[in-house]
Every structure is written in structure tokens, then in C-alpha cells.
Amino acid sequence: MNVSEIEQFLNTEFDGFKVELRTDQERGDIILGRPPYNVIAMSQREYLRQVFEALDAHPGVRVIVLRAEGQHFSSGGDIRGFLEASPEHVSKLAWNVAAAERCSKPVIVANRGYTFGVGFELSLACDFRIASETARYALPEQNLGQIPGSGGSARLQKMIGITRTKHMVMRAKRVSGEQALAWGFVTECVPDDELESATDALVEELRRFSPLAQRTAKKLINDNEDSPLKVAIEMEGHCYSRLRSSADFKEGVEAFHAKRPAVFKGE
């Protein structure tokens, strides 16, 4: 799709969420909009994937933000929808939820209040999680006789280890934003009235960097998550060598020596 077609798609009236395109700030926001609990319908997940892909393809967007209206990020999915969905549909849920992880651009999520089930899984697929002190994280599927099905336990275990993951998954325990920061699965934990300003500040911080270097770093780090150390170091070297020939690296070096801000173009 060209830019006009992308923007036309992003202006669609989506079920359960909306999109705000702020090209003057080089950001695109996905806003869950079914308060008070922002329950995520089965059909909504497919559209969320498509919107992440569209924002990733938009040349005027450098940073993607996922946030929600109201006091809660999301209490999770529509439970009845699981009983009504076909096995084929259910088999695609993890792929749709992982859309933020597949984006080449950085993705920030702002969490407050309930961040449960698929809401938590969506958040875990993002690059930066900013938590309000009101945030409560949980994978409560054991209460339904189920387990997380869209990458929740798998991603969490990579971040916090097997013991804490069993605590959250097998006991369906809730974890506060402050505890999440201590355990290492959120980037920042801030007072609730500072959540939006903290998110805006991170957007502005990430905009300063080279889009090419950001894309390279994200893909390298994600790919190296499952690589042996020797392979990971080798891949880092290849990526470093590739960036040395970029116009952005040349601009960064020249700006450093001239003691001026660099102007990166992603080339």
C-alpha cells in the first residue's frame, strides 16, 4: 500500500480500538477503546495485527504506541469468544498478538490498572513497557481451566525465569507495576498521573536516534534471544559492520565532532 492507502485504512472505524496518526511527532498510537475494562474481542486481534503492520509501513511514523482509554489497560479477552471461535481462528491468535514484536520500529505500551490475559500478552510483545503504579499484571487462565495461549508464559519465562513464571501462571497471581519493575519485565514504573508524560518522553527520546540503527538493534536483539552466545556475537559484528557504511553513521560521527545534534534520516 502507498501512504494514502495506509492512512485511509488507519482511518477505519475499528471495533474496540482507534488509531491516532501524529506525523508531526512521528508517532502512531493504537488506543484500546472499550472501557472500563477494554475487553479484547477475538476479531479485534486480527485488526490489531493489520494496524501494527500498517503503522510499521508508514514512512512518517518512527515510534508506535499502544495505550488504552480509562483506568484499565485491558482485563483480557472475550471469554465467550473462545468457545465460539473455530480451531483455525484460535491457532492464529499468537501470530496476531506477536505483531508488535515483528514491527521493525520501536513499540511502546503504556499500562495502567488491569493488564490481564491477552492484554498482558500484547504488552509482553512490545519493546518498552511503561507501568503506572496502579498497574496489575496477571495471566489468570488457570481460573478457567486453561493456560496462556498467545505467548504469555513463553515470553515471561524468558524475562523473569521459571520460578516467577510458575508463580504468575500456575497460581494466577497478580503482580503490581512496582513488582514488575523489580522483576525486570517493565521498563519504568511511574505515578499514575505521569504515565502519559513518561510515554511522550520515551517517544521523543527514541525519535532522536537513527531509524536504521533502531531497526537493526531491535531485530538483532530479538533474533539473538534464541541464539547461542557465539552466534549472537557474530551476528552483532555483521550488523555493526553493515551500519558503518550507512549515511546515518556518517552523520552521527560528523555531528559528534561538530558538537551539534545529529539529523538522522534512516539511510
Residues annotated as catalytic (active site), given as ranges: 121, 141
Q: In what order do the strands lie in the sheet with 175-176?
A: 114-116, 136-138, 175-176
Contact 71, 112 (CB under 8 A): yes
Half-sphere exposure (Cβ direction) of 219: Cα atoms closer than 13 Å: 13
- Which three cell numbers, joined as nine digits, stand for 154? 513463553
Q: Who contacts 154 (Cβ-Cβ below 8 Å, separation ≥6)?
A: none
Helix axes 152-160, 162-169, angle to 10 degrees: 140
Instruction: For the chain, state the CA radius of gyration.
Output: 19
